[in-house]
Amino acid sequence: MKISVIGAGAMGGAIVEGLLKSDVVRCDDITVCDHNQPVMDHFAGLGTSVTSDNAVAAKEGDVVMVVVKPWCVEKTLAGIKDVLDYKKQLLVVVAAGIPSEQINAWMDKDGEKPKLFLVMPNIAIAEKSSMTFMSAIGASQGEINAVSDIFNDLGETLLMDESLFPAATAMSCGIGYAMRYVRANVEGAVEIGFKAKVAQKMVLQIIKGAVELLQASGEHPESAIDKVTTPGGLTIRGLNEMEHAGFSSAVIRGLKAGKI
């Protein structure tokens, strides 16, 4: 399977980095299109094909991924519309807030529309650890399976109805919220006596342990918290101080604020 990625900025570049570690595609089956020469030089050095011409990239892929800023989507799609073969190629659009109805209107060819996938990963896709949300429009089950296989190899993928996509986009912001928590935890550790590098190593391992425990057990987080909060203990004191400052409420409000 050949994959073209049009737009290799923060997200597009992360997708390519993940694909280069993938078991489902070879590096010489990846085409990267960007207008930044250092970016193209980087990926060319890793064995991908590179071009600065969107139409050339679009011709090359069985799966064509458009990973650009939302305000660039219409122009980018217009530039590849005429070269896409809707019967043979699959179109993946990674851009917040652009519904399939709008994309199909832009891409309509006398009533013919592309096999379209709306996809929202996060930058952990570079390390094959993304939580990716996906909606399929006009695609067969086999085509859905093919695109799912790509993103499942780069983390976890959740196929959903497009009506949930605005909420999923908000959830994808969670990686930034998690990183802000890491930063705060590291700063707190420094304040109580640890060097910053040591603190970060500790915090990341603690979070990794929490994630792996919850994934392995499947239990509710509150149930797991009960196991580490002894009566009158330090953990419950710390948790209550965070809640007094609005910790849970702030997380929920942040998620709601990120919904398009």
Quote the pLDDT of residue 52: 96
Which residue segments constitute the domains of the chain, with CATH numbers given? Answer: 3-172 (3.40.50.720), 174-257 (1.10.3730.10)
Give the rounded percent of residues in the chain with a pLDDT score beyond 70. 100
Burial class from Cβ neighbours inside 10 Å (0-12, 13-18, 19+) for residue 180 reads exposed
- Segment 106-144, tens digit of pLDDT: 999 999 999 999 999 999 999 999 999 999 999 999 999
Quote the pLDDT of residue 160: 96
Q: Decide if 61 contacts 191 (C-beta within 8 A).
A: no
Q: Which residue has the tokens 């910790």?
A: 247
Helix (H) or strand (E) holding 27: none
Q: Decide if 19 contacts 43 (C-beta within 8 A).
A: no
Q: How confident is the model at residue 258 (pLDDT cuts 50, 70, 90)?
A: confident
